[in-house]
Structure 1
Amino acid sequence: MSTFGNFFKVHTYGESHCLSVGVIIDGVPPTLEISEADIQPQLTRRRPGQSAITTPRDEKDRVEIQSGTEFGKALGTPIAMRVMNENQRPKDYGNSTMDKFPRPSHADWTYQEKYGIRASSGGGRSSARETIGRVAAGAIAEKFLRDVAGVDIVAFVSSIGDEYLFPPTATHPTPATNPEFLKLLETIDRPTVDSFAPVRTPNTEAAKRMEDLVTEFKEREDSIGGTVTCVIRNVPSGLGEPVFDKLEAKLAHAMLSIPATKGFEVGSGFGGCRIPGSIHNDAFIKSPAVPPSQSGLASGVPRPRLTTKTNNSGGIQGGISNGAHIYFTVAFKPPATIGQAQTTAMYDEEEGVLAAKGRHDPCVVPRAIPIVEAMAALVLMDAFAAQHGRAGMRDLLSAAYEHKTLANGKPTH
C-alpha cells in the first residue's frame, strides 16, 4: 500500500512522469508552526540535477502546501502537499524497443505480474520520484520532534563501492567500536555533510576517492551502490513497542521501503557478530547533565537518568529507545538503469538486447541522504505519538485514582 504510520499517517501519490507527486498527512499536531520554508530545504537536497555525478533531469521540486494549515499553523486536519513534475520525458520510454523489454532489475515485470498493467515511463510508482512525498512529510515530522524534544537527525554517505569512510579492520570490524566514528556521531551536522558535496561523506580524502569512483562508473555507462549511515540524537527514552513493533524493526521497515535499498543494520550491525559479549555489552552509567536548551523539559519531555558507557546497541534495547544516540546504516544497490546494452528476455519470452534510455544517477547514495533522514523522522514521530498517548492515559488513571482516594478518605488498591 501507499500509506505509512499508525498515528502520523503518510500517504504518498504520483508516478515518475505524471503531472505531480505529493503526499497527504493525517495526524499532524494542531498549532505546529509549519510553512513551505520548513520543507523546501530537504526537497532541494533530494532533487535531481545537483552535480555532474547525478541524473541530469532538471526538476526544481518546489513544494506547495494545499490544505491543513492557516496563517502558518497546522489546523490538525490532513495536510496535502504537491510538487509538480516540470521536466517529464515519457518519450524516452515510449519506443518499440523499450516497450518489448522488462528492464533488468527494475519493477517492470513484477508490477505487470501484480496489476496486469504497468506505467510505461520511468518505472511509475517504483521511481525515486515517489520519495518526494516522504521527504516533505518527514520535514514536518522532524519540525515537531525538533521543536518539542530537540531531536536531531543527520545522515551521511559511509561507503560507495569498496571506498569506505571507516573501513572495517581487525581491530574495529564494526565502526561502533571506532573512537573516530563515535566522535563523528556526536558532532556531525547537515551543513558539514553538504559541504562535502557532491558525495556527502564528511572526509576530504574519502570524498575524493568516492567521487572519482562514481565518475569512473558513469563514464563506463555503468552504476555502483553504497551505504548511508544515520544518527538520531536527543532521542527520549521509552520510544518503541516490545515484540513485533520494536523501534529497530520499524526503522528497518521504513528504510527498506526506500527504492534501491538492500540491507539494514543498527548499532554494531553485522560487524558486531565478531565481537565477544564482554566487549559488546553496553554498561549503564549516570547520565550527564543536559543543557536546558537541549533538555526539552519545558515541553514535558524528560531526559533519562542513565545512559550507556558504550553504544553497540545503537540506542535501542528490547525494541525501546534507551536515550543514547540511535544510529544505523542502510545499503543501496547500484541503480538498475545503465547505458550499456544488456542481453535479456523480452515480454514475449524471446531473448534480445536492450540499451536503456532515460536520465538516471550512476549512484543514488548521495541523493538518498534526505530520504533516509525523512523516514527516520516518520518512525520517531509515530513512536512519539504512541508513547505520549500511552503516558497520557496513565496520567489520567493516576489522577482518577488520586481523586478516588481523596473522596473515600482511604487508599485504593
Structure 2
Amino acid sequence: MAGNSFGSLFRITTFGESHGKAIGVIIDGCPPNIEIDEEFIQSELDKRKPGQSKITTQRKESDTAQILSGVFEGKSTGTPIAILIPNEDQRSKDYSHIADKYRPSHADYTYQQKYGIRDYRGGGRSSARETAARVAAGAIAKLFLKQQGIEIFAHVSAVGTLEAPNLDSTDLTKLLDVRESNIARCADPATANEMISLIDSVRKDGDTIGGKIATIIRNVPVGLGEPVFDKLHADLGKAMLSINAVHGFEYGSGFSGSEMRGSEHNDIFVKENERVLTRTNFSGGIQGGISNGMDITFRTAFKPVATIMRDQNTLNEAGDNTSISGKGRHDPCVVSRAVIIVEAMAALVIADHLLRNQAYAYGK
C-alpha cells in the first residue's frame, strides 16, 4: 500500500491498524535541539482519544505515546523520531457481522476491489484510529513552530446547520480556554451548548451528523509556499482532505468569494508600524500560493459518520442483497475529536514549508 507518508523535508510515515497491536509514526526531518515536551504530546493525544464524553465513541484508549528514538535528554537529535501508541481496547467481535458485507459509505468495497483483501475489524488502515499517529507527529511540529512564534488554533464552528458566530478575539489563548471548557470544542459557549444537545439527540436517534472546523494560523512569515504545484493552500487542502470523513476545504473567503465582485474582494495593502498588512483578509493569508503575513484562515467540512445504529440495505462480497446494522462504539459526530487532528495536519504543512523556505535564505 502506497501513500502512507506526508511532507517533503518535515516528513512523516504512519503505520498500524485499528485493531492491530499498535499504531505509530516515524518523523524524519525534524530539526535538532527542539525541546520535546512529552507531557504536551500526551495532552494533544488526550484531546483526540476516544471515550471523552457522551457525544463521542465509548472505546477506551489511553493513547499513551512511547518515544522510541530521535530524542536525547529532552531534545530532538535530528535523527528519525519513532513514536508508538499501543492499542488497548479492541473489540474485534463487534465487527464479525460485517466480515463479508460492505458498509454503506465506508471504504470496505473500494479496499476489497483495490487490494483483494481487507481488515474488516474497525476498518483496519482506513479507520480514523490512524489519526492518533498524526496528532503525535503534529505535536512535534507544533513544538518546532512554537520556537518560531507560530500559533495554530481550530474549533468546531458548525454542527449540521447550527453555526457559531465568527471569532472576533485576537487572543488565541483565551479562545483555547473557552474551547476546552466544553465537550463540543466550540469557542462560543452559547453555541457549544446547542451543539451538545443536537449531537446527543442525534445519537439517541441512532443517527449521525456532520460539522465544520474553522482554523486560524497566526504569525506565519511571508514567503511560505511555492507558486505552482506546491501552493501553500493546496498543501493545506491536501492535508485536510486526507483526514477521514473530510468532504470539503475552503480558505479565506472560500466559496462565498465567488459571489463577490473584485472591487469587494480585493485585499488592499496598507503599512502599519513598518509592516505591510491588508485591510481585509479575503485571501486567507495566502496570495499566489504564498503566505503574505496575515492570519491564515480556512474551514474544513466533515460528513456524517457512515456507521449508524439503524438497519440499512447493502451488498455482500458475493454481490447478494443483504442488510446491515451498526454495532460497536462509534462517534455520532466526529468534529469535537477532529479539532486536534486538523491542527496537527496544519502544523505539519507549515513546519514542512518553513524548512523548505529556509533554502531561499542562501540566495539572499
Q: Give the TM-score band, short-chain normalised.
A: over 0.9
**Structure 1, gaps ≥5 residues long:** 167-180, 290-304, 396-413
Picking from 211, 231, 238, the partner of 1:253 is 238
* Number of residue pairs matched by the alignment: 361
Shift of 1:230: 0.5
| 1:394 matched to 2:330 | no
Aligned to 1:39: 41
* CA distance in structure 1 between the aligned counterparts of 2:243 and 2:272, rounded to whole angstroms: 35
Residue pairs, 1:116-131, within 5 angstroms = 116-131=116-131
Aligned to 1:310: 280
User: TM-score if structure 2 supplies the norm length?
Assistant: 0.97
* CA distance in structure 2 between the aligned counterparts of 1:121 and 1:102, rounded to whole angstroms: 12
Shift of 1:321: 0.2
* CA distance in structure 2 between the aligned counterparts of 1:45 and 1:234, rounded to whole angstroms: 24
RMSD of aligned Cα (Å):
1.2
- Contact 2:240-2:249 at 8 Å conserved across structures: yes
Where 1:117 maps in the other structure, the secondary structure is coil
* CA distance in structure 1 between the aligned counterparts of 2:31 and 2:88, rounded to whole angstroms: 32
Where 2:297 maps in the other structure, the secondary structure is strand
Higher mean alpha-carbon deviation, 184-193 vs 202-211, is at 184-193
* CA distance in structure 2 between the aligned counterparts of 1:164 and 1:35, rounded to whole angstroms: 35
* CA distance in structure 2 between the aligned counterparts of 1:5 and 1:185, rounded to whole angstroms: 30
Residue pairs, 1:176-215, within 5 angstroms = 181=166, 183-184=168-169, 187=172, 189-195=175-181, 197-215=182-200
Q: Per-residue displacement from partner, 1:317-340 (whole Å, max 9, x unpaired)?
A: 000000000010000000011110
- Contact 2:178-2:186 at 8 Å conserved across structures: no
* Cα distance, 1:132–1:122 mapped onto 2, change above 3 Å: same
* CA distance in structure 2 between the aligned counterparts of 1:229 and 1:288, rounded to whole angstroms: 29
Aligned to 1:111: 111
Where 2:13 maps in the other structure, the secondary structure is strand
Where 1:184 maps in the other structure, the secondary structure is coil
Shift of 1:114: 1.1
Where 2:99 maps in the other structure, the secondary structure is helix
- Contact 1:185-1:231 at 8 Å conserved across structures: no
**Structure 2, gaps ≥5 residues long:** none
- Contact 2:285-2:296 at 8 Å conserved across structures: yes
Aligned to 2:349: 379
Picking from 347, 350, 356, the partner of 2:320 is 350
Q: Per-residue displacement from partner, 1:48-78 (whole Å, max 9, x unpaired)?
A: 1110010000111111100011111111110
* CA distance in structure 2 between the aligned counterparts of 1:324 and 1:28, rounded to whole angstroms: 26
Higher mean alpha-carbon deviation, 272-281 vs 105-114, is at 272-281
Shift of 1:184: 3.4
Residue type matched to 2:87 in 1? N
Residue type matched to 1:338 in 2? I
Where 1:93 maps in the other structure, the secondary structure is helix
- Contact 2:178-2:188 at 8 Å conserved across structures: no
Q: Per-residue displacement from partner, 1:310-357 (whole Å, max 9, x unpaired)?
A: 101000000000000001000000001111010111111111110121
- Contact 1:38-1:140 at 8 Å conserved across structures: no
